[in-house]
A and B are shown apart, each in its own frame.
Chain A
Amino acid sequence: MKLITHNMLTSKCLKGVLTGYPLAINAIDVKVNEVDYNPEFITRIIPKLDWEVLWTAADSIGHSEGLPKVIEPKYEENEEFLKKAHKVLLEVEVEEGHLTCPESGRQFPISKGIPNMLLTEAEVQ
């Protein structure tokens, strides 16, 4: 699971859960896989993210170093920032671990890099 994906995931479909966001990450195995750097893409994707959630997620798995807590105004011109964002968004992957719903505490296992967000009939709204 990449952190860009984590930025989109919620557990709001759980019974009694309002937003279910952000999910807490408990990582057992984190990998860094190098992928091609595309500054245009990073620039374009950043406005779509909840940056604070991204920072907290990166911090929780030990990859927040050098990442600003708040996005600076002209971030698209800051090559160093974009590279850092690129790494956190696309290269860092949680292979094993689990996600935890902030409201209910329900845990969603992450196995072989894939979070399992399936719910049982009894759990849904």
Chain B
Amino acid sequence: MEEERKAERKRKRFAARLKSSKGIVCIETAGPNIVVCNAGQATGFEKDSVTNLINEYSLDMQSPKFIAEKGESHAFLVFRNTENAVSFFNACHGKAKADKNGTLMYLNYDDEKLFIELFDWTSEDSSNLKNRQVKHYGYEFRYGTNDVELNNPLSEKIPLECDVLWKRLEEQGFTLGRPDQLTVNKYSPGNGMNDFYENLVAVVNGGCDPTIDLCFDVIVMDWRHRSGKNVPVMVPARSMLMMQGEASTTDPVVEYRTGGDGQTLKIITADTRQRQTRISLTFSAAGTVQTELEDSVASHLEELHVHQRSGPCECGFKALCDSAGGTVQTELEDSVASHLEELHVHQRSGPCECGFKALCDSAGGTVQMELEDSVASHLEELHVHQCAAHSRGVSAADRVRLDVLRAPLRDACADIAGERSSGLLSECAAHSRGVPAADRVRLDVLRAPLRDACADVVICIAVIHHMSTKSRSNYLSKNKVATENAQVNVNGVNLHIHENRTQFQHKDLLVPWKLNAKTDKLTKCDKKLPKSDTKVSDSDNRVSRSDKNVSSDELVADNTLLRFYHVFEEGELDELCREVGFQIESNFYEEGNWCVICKKL
């Protein structure tokens, strides 16, 4: 009993000493990390010593990870799990001899030391932003655009040591899954976070965006709502902040920032405290960002921005939608949405017809030019054919297929190619020159200006996956263009994922596309690219998924487009066709696309 009390007294004394001299915070609850309080490199305590102790006490475990700083008389042991740490603690604390002199070893559980060891780098390994140091794991968080560089995963993944966090959270009932992106920020004393917005795409992950603060002291996060309301939230040291749902998705509504630039920080009680070094870990599930859009944002955005803008909004973001008493939504429907749709989905020809001159003109009109070049090549197209099937190419793959189709049919049919984009239409015109009965009409696929039952064959390529759920079925069910018994060929997904073929776990997503311009061209240009420099000959290559070569954040911001895609599952397209009364004749999967050939009954 006496020895136990002595051990406990010593433990507390060492804990206090470690905290005051080294800033190492010991905790009362057991964890996988143990700090050896009175033995370390300076006292000749080595990894072998630990192994010997494990053998001496017949402990059934692997040797822990051993961390000892030079010249220090303490050391850290990182066990595989808490049980091992507890066994070691119980066996050795106050009993085991730390050296040949017979000094008893005293232990404490340590927590964030591990993380500080992991993340307290010197400035050489990290990029220095103003007032702080930053390091990325998994994927790079781009500060220029506030999103994540999804196409270029970093070689350095989130350290496995972080896994303990998810396990611990799960024990508390929070199932987050496993994040794959981590941004570590190290703030020197007196430096706060700047005003900080995270881009919708980067933040949305359906679950949570846990931020873990390894500050040794409290910080204050000052949340500001768009309405002007301020909510300061005190975040204790070693705490985790999780943002979910609207908080994490409606970024312009909630912005968070901490502190000012001063040396002291005002806390609500009007106390002032000296600020200390703060390390902040922000995890997110970057790789699944695009896929996670489905349930929450995608349907909302897509409802508002893409096609189906009639009827009440069905999104789950009532606070945002209703915040202006429903008028936000209405405004979006009527004005912003069509502008955004023009920008993000449809190609524009001629001057922009939106009412948003300030927005349009703020980029000196070049946004429009650039968009025309980029969006032009890939948007919606509908092929309505009379008499027999064939058409002009869309992408290289389509072109090959259509050329095959065309050869025997080129003189035997009349075809009308319907297309939203004037860029594609002029390309189509060049491509079908010499085909006697080929013609082109600029149209909206959902409002085809064609007589009922005029087509014997309808081919729909690379269109339907850009439509919302409602639009998809509307398009098919209200399609009166086809005659009875007409063959309807519907092509479902066309993601144009080239070398970097991605597995999509969810069905609706916004895919960032960016102008594929040559680096040497870009380096010469300011951020407003002259039209001639952005042209790439092949339509399929005009827009490609984000390209690492384009490094300037400003360029990224200007040239990145978010395009809505619905990814069809096996059988989904067939089911859709069946639902609207088509009879499936055949289906196949080719180059990332589902294709269905069906008959209108």
Contact = CB atoms under 8 A, between A and B. Distances in A.
B412 A41 contact: yes
Interface stretch (A4-12, A66-74, A76-84): A4-12
A113 B450 contact: no
Residue in A1, A2, A8, A118 with the greatest tally of chain B CB atoms within 10 Å: A8
Nearest to B384: A8
Given A4-B414, A36-B411, A45-B386, A115 B444 contact: no
B428 to A, nearest CB: 9
Given A21-B451, A41-B412, A48-B454, A117 B442 contact: yes
A114 B442 contact: yes
B420 A44 contact: no
Interface string B439-461: 11111100111110010000000
Interface in B383-429: 386-387, 411-414, 416, 420, 422, 425-426, 429
A13 B474 CA distance: 14
B338 interface: yes
Contacts of A1: 439, 441
B441 A115 contact: yes
Contacts of A8: 386, 416, 450-451, 454
Interface string A3-44: 011011111110000001100000000000001101011001
Contacts of B497: none
B553 interface: no
18 contacts: A4-B386, A8-B416, A9-B441, A20-B449, A36-B411, A40-B412, A90-B436, A90-B437, A113-B440, A114-B429, A116-B349, A117-B441, A117-B442, A118-B420, A118-B442, A118-B443, A121-B338, A124-B447
Interface of A: 1-2, 4-5, 7-13, 20-21, 35-36, 38, 40-41, 44-45, 48, 89-90, 112-121, 124
A120 B425 CA distance: 19
A7 B454 CA distance: 10
Given A38-B436, A121-B334, 20 more contacts: A2-B437, A5-B416, A7-B451, A8-B416, A41-B412, A41-B413, A41-B436, A45-B386, A45-B387, A89-B437, A90-B414, A115-B441, A116-B349, A116-B422, A117-B441, A117-B442, A117-B444, A118-B443, A119-B444, A124-B447
A56 to B, nearest CB: 15
A-B pairs, 8 with minimum CB distance: A35-B436, A13-B447, A117-B449, A5-B439, A116-B442, A117-B443, A8-B454, A2-B439
A8 B442 CA distance: 14
Residue in B387, B412, B442 with the greatest tally of chain A CB atoms within 10 Å: B442
Contacts of B425: 114
B309 interface: yes
Nearest to B333: A121
Contacts of A20: 449
B195 to A, nearest CB: 36
A41 B437 contact: yes
A105 B3 CA distance: 101
Contacts of B386: 4, 8, 45, 48
B436 A36 contact: yes
A11 B353 CA distance: 21
B429 A113 contact: yes
Contacts of A115: 441-442
B442 A121 contact: no
A24 B411 CA distance: 29
Contacts of B439: 1-2, 4-5
Contacts of B420: 118
Given A2-B439, A5-B416, A118 B444 contact: yes
Contacts of B449: 9-13, 20, 117
A90 to B, nearest CB: 5
Contacts of B422: 114, 116
Given A4-B439, A9-B441, A45-B387, A112 B454 contact: no
Contacts of A45: 386-387, 414, 437
Contact of B309 (A11, A114, A121): A121
Residue in B422, B437, B440, B448 with the greatest tally of chain A CB atoms within 10 Å: B437
Contacts of A13: 447-449
Given A8-B416, A114-B429, A121-B309, A44 B387 contact: yes
Nearest to B425: A114
Contacts of A11: 449
